[in-house]
Amino acid sequence: MTTTQAILEHLKVLPESAQQEVLDFVKSLESRWTGLARSEEDVAWSHLSLACAMRDMEDEKTAYTLADLKESVS
């Protein structure tokens, strides 16, 4: 028997109000897991994007030096 089948067997004997509670709980779990997966995917894409943007930057000449820094008084 699979986990899904076992859950369904237990669910069948519960009253409608308890089944609604189970449904609410399952929706909550689904939302949390879906959000977690989405967050992990967003992080992965962010790292990829940053890696692509920074690729070969160490070979570029520095655009500014310390001599380029000037103090401004407002």
Q: Per residue of the chain (74 residues), what is the pLDDT tens digit? A: 899 999 999 999 999 999 999 999 998 888 887 777 777 788 888 888 878 777 777 777 777 788 888 877 76
Question: Model-level pTM?
Answer: 0.47
Domain count, the chain: 1
Range of the domain at 30: 15-51
Specify whether the CB–CB gap between 53 and 42 falls below 8 A. Answer: no
Report in angstroms the alpha-carbon separations of 39 from 46, 49, 53: 10, 15, 21
Check residue 15 and give its pLDDT: 94
Residue 61 tokens read as 């000449």
